[in-house]
């Protein structure tokens, strides 16, 4: 006898038809590859090679339809996943991002950075 999800016994002839294809889990590409993947890969790659005390400048016109809030969130999420601590800042034309210094990175004079 076969048990259903509700704990009721089902006879073999009552067995449900499988209407979906099956695959082995080992054949699946597991991992999050969101719509900002290429943009984030480029930013994080550039951050790896960035000299200390320097910020990466990303022109807002180059990010397409991605909102600044979504970009900031995606960069932060990806950096945390890689164990990086970043600081971000933006103005009307650019998005700036840099690695947080051990003694605390400072935003441009008169501005607050978002951590």
Percent of the chain with pLDDT over 70: 68
User: DSSP for 16-73?
Assistant: PPP-S----GGGS--S---TTHHHHHHHHHHHHTPPTT--EEEEGGGGTT--HHHHHH
> Rounded distance, CA 81 to CA 84, Å?
8
Is beta strand 94-99 parallel, antiparallel or unpaired with respect to 9-10?
A: unpaired
User: Who's near 3: CB < 8 A, 6+ residues apart?
Assistant: 9, 10
Q: Where are the domains of the chain?
A: 35-99
Rounded to two decimals, what is the model's pTM?
Answer: 0.61
pLDDT at 48 over 50: yes
Query: What are 59-78's pLDDT values in tens digits?
Result: 999 888 889 999 999 899 88
Higher pLDDT, 78 or 93: 93
């Amino acid at each position: 006898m076969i048990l259903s999800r509700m704990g009721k016994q089902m006879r073999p002839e009552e067995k449900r038809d499988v209407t979906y294809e099956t695959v082995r889990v080992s054949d699946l590409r597991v991992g999050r590859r969101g719509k900002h993947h290429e943009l984030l890969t480029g930013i994080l790659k550039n951050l790896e090679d960035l000299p200390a005390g320097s910020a990466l400048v990303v022109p807002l016109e180059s990010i397409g339809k991605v909102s600044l809030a979504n970009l900031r969130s995606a960069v932060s999420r990806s950096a945390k996943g890689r164990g990086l601590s970043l600081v971000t800042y933006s103005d009307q034309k650019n998005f700036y991002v840099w690695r947080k210094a051990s003694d605390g990175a400072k935003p441009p004079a008169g501005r607050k950075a978002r951590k």
